[in-house]
Amino acid sequence: MLWIWLSKRFLEPSSPVKFAFGLLLLAAGFAVMIVAAKIVTGGGLAAPYWLVLTYLLHTMGELCLSPVGLSAISRLSPKSYVGQMMGLWFCASAIGNILAGLLAGHFDSESLQDFPDIYMQIVILCGVAGILLLVFSKSLKRLDPSSTKSES
């Protein structure tokens, strides 16, 4: 709904910018988890709203990525390969989930003091990727054959 609202006002961001927002929201969600993990490592109990806020940020980030990615795939792929490209999009998501699961399998739940640092590494990785996407978004948009010179 946000993209439609912005589009009506000629303010809709490009796909790379939407992707960057998604990555930055992911980083923000893990930043929330850093605070919650520090509360727990300090001996306190983290309230459930920390997790709710994390899920909210991650869900909003996912909404900046998945539908925008599917739209970009269908817009940028040669018409005879759209189905295969959609399949590759979902394969890439599956591989990402496998890698995330393998990475999470190495976390030791007994060493809670490591969790803030682990979350910080994720924040840095996602934040840097999001910022790089923002920095290079104009260059990436020029590669889109459907974009026009009148768009910013």
Question: Is a pLDDT exceeding 90 seen at residue 4?
Answer: no
Which tokens sit at 57? 């940020």
**What are the domain boundaries of the chain?**
13-138
What token pair was written down for 68? 């925008």
Kind plus residue range of the DSSP H or E element containing 48: helix 48-76
pLDDT for residue 149 = 47
Q: Is the pTM of this model over 0.75?
A: yes
pLDDT for residue 151 = 46
Give the pLDDT of residue 103.
84
Mean pLDDT value of segment 95-99: 94
> In this predicted model, what pLDDT tens digit does every residue of 105-151 receive, in sequence order?
888 877 888 889 989 999 999 999 999 999 999 888 777 776 654 44
